Structure formats: structure tokens, C-alpha cells
Structure 1
Amino acid sequence: MTRVGFLGAGRMGAPMVSRLVQAGHDVRVLGRSADKRAELAGLGATPVADAAAAVDGAEIVVVCLFTDEQVREVLGADLLAAVPAGAAVVVHTTGSPHTVERLRDLAPHLDILDAPVSGGPHDIAAGQITLFVGGPEEAVTRARPVLAAYGDPVLHVGVLGVGQKVKLINNTLFAAQIGLLAEAAQLAADLGVDESALLEALPHGSGASRALGNVARAGSTAAFIAAVGEFIGKDVAVVRQTVAELGTGLGALDAVVDAGLGTARTRN
């Protein structure tokens, strides 16, 4: 059993908490309202009203927040100082590699791991969310039994920050694939092919992909872009900023990414 401090028990974090409890870990979770603490208690976790209480005595601290700004706001110098020396802090937020590097600089007494996820709450509930983990190998080994409560596969992809880079590339490629599908749907319209018929047929051909399967289940490219555009758009904005800082760009992916974010051109 591992003492786990958990920050960010929302749409993605709550099923992680449930899986951790089911795996036998001692989980202390931040809940800022009485209703939220009651919900967390119902999952079998120990709810607490402030972040310092959540990380008190923790061997692993799991952070599942939406943005870099939230991570920087919650994981300030004072809170990081309260985490026991030698503990690992696992950041599931998809964001800039600079955010986790800053945490490492602020807290040299801790092992910082970036572990952005690929999948949704249903994958977490099934214990099958994909984790791209960056950080020291020894720390990843220590954290793996905790991460395996909800993650499979848990992929150690490199040093700190590489997990974020792999996830950002993954989501850029996903957006590009959606963009290609949006262009294909427009081509189908130009040729007089109904989009619903197209989406029923293509999963059985050589053009099949996970992105296509998601779009087909949504019923149309427009419906799927409307559902995921906010999340994908956030990640693509981060990757564009990150690659610009590194002196490169998205190359041929750039144009089709825009189509995947709902800005596809319309043919006359």
C-alpha cells in the first residue's frame, strides 16, 4: 500500500482516485467543497480541505489539472516544500515541458514526473488509460505500481519533459487526422457521397484509423470537432508555442491541423 496525495479529482481525476482505492492504496484527496469531499469519501478516499493536508506524508503525489496555469497555481513553492523528501510528484496535465522543468527546479528534494494521458474517463475506469511518462527511471519504477492502478500501458518515454512532448505530438497528429477526415467529408460532398455512408464504409477499408472510428461514432466530422475541439485546441496551441521556442514548426502537419480544429476551408 502506498500513501498517495491527489490534487485534481475532476472529470479525469475522480475515476483515477476510485481505481487507486480499489487497488488498496491510501489516498488523500483535495476537495474544496463539502459536497466534493462527500463524493470523494463515497469513493473510499480520505477527503481533505486543503492541498497541504493532501500531500502530508505522501509517497506519491498525483496532479490531474487541466492547464499549466492551474498546475503553477496549485504547486507553488510552499506546497512543494511540504511534500516529503524523496516523494515523486506525477503531473498528468497536458502542457508545456517548461512547467514540469520549473517544478524540478523549485523542488530538488522531489522526483518530478510528467505523465500526460491519452484516452478518456471510460479508459481510466477500465484501467486502460495510456500514460506517456518522462523522468528518472528509478522514480518511474517506484511510481509504476501506483500508475498501474489506472494506466495500461505505462510508457517511460524519456527524461523529464519528454512525456509532454510525446503527448503534444500525439495530439497534433490526432488533430491532423481529424483535419484530413474533414477534408475527405468535403470531398465526399463535392462528389455527391453522403457523409454518413462514407463514415459507415471507411472503417472497413485501408483508410481506417482510431480517429476515423471516433468520428464515425460521433456521426459526422463536425459533431466530433465540436465535442473535442476545445481540448485538442489547447494542446495544439501549446505544441505550436513549444516548437516555436525550440526553433522549429509543425511542417506539413500545420495546414491539416487547422482543419481538425474546425477551421477547414470551404470549397465553392
Structure 2
Amino acid sequence: MSRVGFIGTGHIAAPIARLLARKGHEIFVTERNATVSATLKADINATVGRPQSVIDQSEILFLCLRPHIASDVLAPLSFRADHRIVSVMAAVSETDLRSLCAPAGDFVQTIPLGFLEQGGCPLAAYGNDDLLAGLMAPENPVVKVANETSLNAHFAICAMVPGVLDLLTTGVDWLTEQTGNADGAEFYTTQLMAGFLASMEKGQTGRLAAERDALATDGTLSLQMTQTLQAGKAHEALRDALTAIGKRLET
């Protein structure tokens, strides 16, 4: 087992730390979010310290800072050549990481969501994917990508998750208006989507389109829904958002 440190302790770091603690790793966290770090200390016996202390005591480091503050936080810190680094910071390039974390040179960049603590979160990985797999798999499958452009495209797809949740919220609001039952509307909508996706056959390219076409046949309510969304240019809006996010990550 390894000594794993977290620079930045918040929404993404906490579930990763809990997962790795369950797997037997020793956890070190910064006080950047005092409430979260105190909870991790109480729940998983994490050692809480200043950033340099966390770095000095760790073999593997997760960088979980917001991208716009990464340089300010990391630049004053000292790393070792033997450090292995996992960055979960969108828009912080490999070039920037190598400069900020020198002389460390063993990196992997990835895109986690909080549900990885329960497993089933696919992790796009650019760099040392074996390092990430050794920590996260088999609970969370690691998907190796060839370059940072591909990684950024996966980051954009991750941003689609709250967009889909936003649409589902609109559906829940509509159902609540029709039934007067907010709890029932949210339960029904979330269970319907979660159950359907969970039942789909895994590992078959084109299965999303195939399932769509199986439901949206001539004369059905499902076809009316897909056609209305297409006519309203929902798909164009999604593509535009993904493209804009991808361009933002390149800068």
C-alpha cells in the first residue's frame, strides 16, 4: 500500500480519499477545505497538514485544485523526482504540470466524478494509466487516451453530466406540475433513467442509438419526443456547448 496525499481537499478529493482508504492506502490531506479535511480525519484517519508536509510524507499525490489557482498554490512547493502525480485539474496542461511539479516526471491526468467512491466511474487517463488503474481499478475502469486533445474532449463529455441533470430537473418540474407530487416525480424520473441505463448491454458500440431507435418507432410517444428535441435544435445546442468547452480547455 502507498502513502497518498491530496493537495486540495473538496468535492472531488474526498470520495477519492475514502475509496483509497478502504483499499488500505495511508491518506494525507491539506486543510484547504477545513470542514472536509476534518471529516476525513475523523472518518478515515487521514493525516491533515500543510501542503508541503503532505507532499513530503506522500509517495503519490493527487492534485485537486481549481485550475485558476493551481499555479499560485503549487509554484512555492517542492516536489521529489520519485513522486507520482495524479492531476484531476481540467485545463492544466502536461507542460504546466511538469514545470510546477519538477523534478517529478511521472504523471497521469484524469477526469473523476464523485460517484467513483461507489464504483462504476470510467476514468479517461492521459499519461501513466497503469498508475491510475493500480489505484482505482477494478471498481472504476480506466480508459487510456492518446493525447491531451482527446483528454479534453472527455472532460467536455463530463461537463455534459450536469447538463443532462438540468434537463431531467425540467422533466421533474413538469411532472410535479401535472401530479402535485414533487417527491414522487423525482423518484420516478431518476429511477426510470437509472434503471434503463443500468439494464443496457455493456461494451457494444452503437447501443445508445439502437436503444433509441427501438423505442422511437413510428407513431410512438418516444418518436414524438425525439423529433421535437431535434426540431428545437437541442442536439445542435449540445454540440455547440461541447465544442465551446473543448476550445476553452485548449487555451
Both structures adopt the same fold (TM-score exceeding 0.5): yes
* Alignment RMSD (CA, Å): 4.2
Give the aligned partner of residue 226 of structure 2. none
Contact 2:133/2:142 (<8 A) preserved? yes
Q: What is the letter of the counterpart of residue 206 of structure 1?
A: R
- After the TM superposition, which residues 174-193 of structure 1 pair with which residues of structure 2 at under 5 Å, given as runs? 175=163
Aligned partner of 1:132 in structure 2 is: 124
Task: Name the aligned partner's letter for residue 127 of structure 1.
Answer: G
Contact 2:126 2:144 in 1 (8 A): yes
Q: TM-score, length-normalised on structure 2?
A: 0.61
- Equivalent residue, structure 2, for 1:142: 131
Aligned residue type for 2:123: L
Cα displacement (A) at 1:170: 4.9
- Decide whether aligned partners of structure 1 residues 56 and 29 sit closer, same or farther in structure 2, where only a CA change above 3 A counts: same
- Percent identity over the alignment is 24
Q: Any idea what SS the aligned residue of 1:18 has?
A: helix
Residue 206 (structure 1) aligns with = 212
Change (3 A) 1:19 1:143: same
**1:128–1:182: structure 2 CA closer, same or farther, 3 Å change rule?**
closer
Which amino acid is the alignment partner of residue 87 of structure 2? V
Determine helix, strand or coil for the equivalent of 1:128: coil
> Cα distance 1:160–1:59, how it changes in 2: closer, same or farther (>3 A)?
farther
In the alignment, which residue of structure 1 is the partner of 2:67? 68
Call closer, same or farther: CA 1:158–1:164 in 2, change over 3 Å.
Answer: same
Aligned to 2:234: none
Residue aligned with 1:38, SS: helix
Aligned residue in 1 for 2:143 = 155
Alignment of 1:97-112 (within 5 A): 98-106=92-100, 107-112=102-107
Taking the aligned partners of 1:35 and 1:143, their CA distance within structure 2 comes to: 27
Deviation for aligned residue 1:178: 7.5
CA contact (8 A) 2:111 2:158 kept: no
1:50-100 deviation per Cα after TM superposition (whole angstroms, max 9, x unaligned): 1111111422101223x3113223222x32xx222132211113x22x534
Secondary structure in 2 matching 1:9 = coil
Which deviations, in whole Å up to 9, do the C-alpha atoms of 1:230-250 show, x marking residues without a partner?
xxxx9876423246x6xxxxx
The answer as to whether partners of 1:6 and 1:54 remain within 8 angstroms in 2 is yes
Q: 1:36 Cα deviation (Å)?
A: 4.6
* Partner SS, residue 6 of structure 2: strand
Shift of 1:34: 6.1
Give the whole-Å Cα distance in 1 for the aligned partners of 2:162 and 2:41. Answer: 36
Evaluate the alpha carbon distance shift between residue 173 and residue 30 of structure 1 in structure 2; reply closer, same or farther with a 3 A threshold.
closer
- Secondary structure of 2:15's counterpart equals helix
The corresponding residue for 1:167 is 155
Q: Give structure 1 stretches of 5+ with no counterpart.
A: 189-193, 209-233, 246-268
Which residue of structure 2 lines up, in the alignment, with residue 87 of structure 1?
83
Could you say what secondary structure the match of 1:158 adopts? coil
2:61–2:84 contact (8 Å) kept in structure 1: yes
Does the CA contact (< 8 Å) of 1:57 and 1:83 recur in 2?
no
Q: Is 2:8 the counterpart of 1:14?
A: no
Q: Aligned letter for 2:108? A: L
Tell me how far 1:158 sits from its aligned partner.
Answer: 2.1
Distance (Å, rounded) in 2 between the aligned partners of 1:178 and 1:33: 26
- Quickly say closer, same or farther: Cα 1:51–1:172, change in 2 above 3 A: same
How far apart are residue 35 of structure 1 and its match? 5.1
